[in-house]
Amino acid sequence: MIKVEFNYNGINTIIQCNNLESIKNICQHYLNKINEDKKDIYFLYDGNKINEELTLKEMMNSEDKKNNKMKILAYKNEIKLEDNDFIKSKDIICPKCRENIRFEIKDYKIKLSDCKNGI
């Protein structure tokens, strides 16, 4: 048995599976356990989005195969964009209200300010 550890919002959840089980099934077991919808969550393994068509054995790197443990990060899709949501602009746009906004770069950090709507 291999333990697949999902980390979602700082909470670790372990799902036990076998080598030949598909990643799609494993993720679905996890989603059922946390009561979330597949379209709302995406998964990362080794810094890449997982390929659900692979089996667990095909997906695991050599170190995880030795340890019989795999760690997957789960993130919530908070931004739901349609194809027509992307418009080229010459101005900086507020990510929340999509109005013009000022920005400042200080110490390698970007600070957004002066939004028309005060967001």
Q: How far apart are CA 92 and CA 112, in angstroms?
A: 9
> Could you tell me which residues come within 8 angstroms of residue 24 by beta carbon, excluding any fewer than 6 positions away?
52, 53
Closest CA to 91 of 65, 60, 112, 119: 112
- Check if the beta carbon of residue 103 is closer than 8 Å to that of residue 92: yes
Q: What is the pTM of this model?
A: 0.63
Q: How far apart are CA 112 and CA 16, in angstroms?
A: 44
Q: Where are the domains of the chain?
A: 2-76, 83-113
Mean pLDDT over residues 5-12, rounded? 92
Using pLDDT thresholds of 50, 70 and 90, give the confidence band for residue 37: confident
Fold of 2-76: Ubiquitin-like (UB roll) (3.10.20)
pLDDT at 82: 58
pLDDT tens across 68-97, in order?
999 999 988 876 555 555 667 778 888 777
